[in-house]
Each structure stands twice: as structure tokens, then as C-alpha cells.
């Protein structure tokens, strides 16, 4: 099994190493200090720091906000495109485009749209009199920067939910609807009592996968705010990156990594529980 052997080397070894470095004090910029075993000190330091909890809170704010909106909007768009209506096939394809884009480019596009002097969105906001969206500029406004990053994420990843829900809708049997129609159910009742319960497993899968990928967010923040203003848009992955590749504190950076991994593991276990790993 060459594939498993490969993952054993390039995934399992780094993973064990990632856990190992969290027990050491190791600064790459100070080789003279060496690598010292410190036991659980990194965990105690990181977990007693207020900034860590603020970052965890900010990350959850982003993840819950983005995934929540994506699920609702994605389901609505999927229901719209699932209607028997001319052109929906082409529209479904067009709608997918943002999802294929490199997140780095998505960040660049939104930075351009929101540029304070020549960004078209900024002009749109001022002509609509929405001054709170233009001064200070959104990416420099501590209160609006996370909503702005959520908006970028919603733009890029709602298509994923659309895709998954559309597949789920196509697999639903029409007999329930025929029966409901005979019983005189309204559209809204059919959605609420038939479609939604039947879609529940599909929506759960979409929610878990989106949560796992939203936890990783890094690229778009790197091009737009770099965690700023101040630390207002610093999420866990950016915090770990900064500790690791700006302060070169391998132990602390690794510890933040393990916090992210723990969150990811919780969601992965949940995923395995709902989907099941069956051997065929």
C-alpha cells in the first residue's frame, strides 16, 4: 500500500513532531539558548494568556458567522437552482466559479473592490449614504473587519454548500411531494416538513466540512489585513503563523497549532459519527 506508507512518512511523522515540539522551549533566532524541555509550560503559558482566549473567541466568531450564513444562503440558492426553470444549469456552473479560485486572489479582488479611493464598492457605499462602511475603511475598522472577512468567505464558499445541497436535493424521491400535494400542503409546508428533514444529513456534512476548512482560514487574511488593525482580525492559524515564522518561537507556535488541531479533531470525530466509515 504505497499511498499509506507515503502518508505514514509525510503526515504521521510531522504530526508526532508537531506534538513533540510543544513540550520544548525552542527559539530559532537564539540557537545559543538551545532546545530546553519544559514539560507543559507552553500549554500553561498559552492557555493563561488573555490574548489566546480573545483569538479563540474571534476565530469562533468568524467560523460560526461564515458557516452559518453560507448554509442558509447556500440552501436558498440551491432550492432556487433546483427549480425546473430554463438556464438554471448554466447559472449553477457560473455560481461555482469563486469556489475554484485561489484564496489569495479572492483576497486581492476584495482588497481592490474596497480600496478607499478607487474601489467600486466604496463608491457604491458612499453613493448609498452608508458612510459607516467607508470611513474608516472596512479593513482598517476593528469592528467591521471580521464581518468583512466573513463576507469574502461567504462569497467564495457559499458555492460549496450550493453544490452539496443541490446533489442532496436531486437524490430526494419525488413521491413525498406528490403525496403532500394530494394532501394540499403549501410550498412552505413542503419545505419545512419534507425537504428540510430529508436534507438534514446533507446539511450536516456541508456544515462540518465547511467548519473544518473555515478553521484554516489564512490566505485571505494574509493579503487583506494581516491580522490587523491591531489584532482585530487575527485568527488562530494566523496567531500560530506569527509565533512560528515571525517570532520563531517553535514551542509556543506548535502549542497554538495543537489547539487548532484539537478543534479540528472534534469536528472530524463528529463527521465520522454522522457519516460513518464503512468498509465496502
Partner 1 sequence: MKNLGKLALNIMTVGAILLVLLWTLYPLMWIFLSSLKPAGAQFQDPPVWFNFEPTLDNYREFFGNSEFISAILNSLLITIVSVLFSLILGTPTAYSLARFKYRHDDKMLIFVLLSRMTPPIVLVMPLFLLARALGIIDTYLVLIIMGGLLSVPFVIWMMRGFFADLPIELEEAAMIDGCDRKNVLVRVLLPLVAPGLAATAVLCSLLVWNQFLFVLVLGGSSTRTLPVLVKMFVTEQSVNWGVMSAAGIITVLPLIIFGLLAQKYLVKGLTMGGVKE
Footprint (CB under 8 A) of partner 1, residues 57-86: 77, 80-81, 83, 85
107-126 footprint of partner 1 as x/- string (CB under 8 A): xxxxxxx---xxxx--x---
3-state secondary structure of 27: strand
Among 102, 129, 184, 230, binds partner 1 (CB under 8 A): 102
- Residue 66's contacts (CB-CB under 8 Å, 6 or more residues apart) are 149, 150, 153, 154, 157, 210, 214
Cα–Cα dist 105/143, whole Å: 24
Residue 197 contacts partner 1 per CB under 8 A: no
Cβ nearer to partner 1, comparing 74 with 143: 74
Q: How many angstroms separate the CA atoms of 164 and 143, rounded?
A: 32
User: Residue 24 pairs with which residues in a beta bridge?
Assistant: 37
DSSP letters, 105-132, are HHHHHHHHHT-TTT-HHHHHHHHTT-GG
Q: Which of residues 26-45 bind partner 1 (CB under 8 A)?
A: none
Q: Which of residues 205-234 bind partner 1 (CB under 8 A)?
A: 205-206, 209, 212, 215-216, 218-219, 222-223, 226
Residue 196 in contact with partner 1, rule: CB under 8 A = no
Min dist. Cβ of residue 107 to partner 1 (A): 8
Q: Which is nearer to partner 1, 143 or 248 (CB)?
A: 248
Of 155, 176, 191, 231, the one binding partner 1 by CB under 8 A? 155
With beta carbons less than 8 A apart as the criterion, state whether 96 and 163 touch. yes
Amino acid at each position: 500500500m504505497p499511498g499509506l506508507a507515503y502518508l505514514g512518512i509525510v503526515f504521521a511523522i510531522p504530526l508526532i513532531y508537531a506534538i513533540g515540539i510543544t513540550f520544548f522551549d525552542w527559539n530559532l533566532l537564539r540557537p545559543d539558548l538551545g532546545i530546553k524541555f519544559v514539560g507543559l509550560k507552553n500549554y500553561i503559558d498559552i492557555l493563561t494568556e488573555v490574548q489566546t482566549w480573545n483569538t479563540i473567541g474571534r476565530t469562533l466568531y468568524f467560523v460560526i458567522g461564515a458557516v452559518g450564513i453560507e448554509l442558509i444562503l447556500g440552501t436558498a440558492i440551491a432550492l432556487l437552482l433546483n427549480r425546473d426553470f430554463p438556464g438554471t444549469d448554466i447559472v449553477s456552473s457560473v455560481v461555482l466559479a469563486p469556489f475554484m479560485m485561489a484564496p489569495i486572489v479572492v483576497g486581492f479582488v476584495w482588497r481592490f473592490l474596497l480600496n478607499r479611493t478607487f474601489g467600486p464598492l466604496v463608491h457604491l457605499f458612499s453613493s448609498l449614504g452608508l458612510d459607516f462602511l467607508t470611513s474608516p475603511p472596512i479593513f482598517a475598522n476593528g469592528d467591521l473587519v471580521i464581518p468583512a472577512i466573513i463576507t469574502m468567505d461567504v462569497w467564495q464558499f457559499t458555492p460549496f454548500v450550493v453544490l452539496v445541497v443541490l446533489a442532496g436535493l436531486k437524490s430526494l424521491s419525488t413521491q413525498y411531494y406528490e403525496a403532500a400535494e394530494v394532501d394540499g400542503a403549501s410550498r412552505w409546508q413542503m419545505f419545512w416538513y419534507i425537504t428540510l428533514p430529508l436534507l438534514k444529513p446533507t446539511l450536516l456534512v456541508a456544515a462540518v466540512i465547511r467548519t473544518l476548512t473555515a478553521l484554516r482560514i489564512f490566505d485571505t487574511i494574509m493579503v487583506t489585513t494581516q491580522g490587523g488593525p491591531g489584532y482585530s482580525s487575527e485568527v488562530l492559524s494566523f496567531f500560530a503563523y506569527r509565533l512560528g515564522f515571525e517570532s520563531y518561537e517553535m514551542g509556543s507556535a506548535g502549542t497554538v497549532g495543537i489547539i487548532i488541531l484539537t478543534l479540528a479533531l472534534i469536528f472530524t470525530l463528529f463527521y465520522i459519527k454522522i457519516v460513518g466509515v464503512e468498509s465496502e
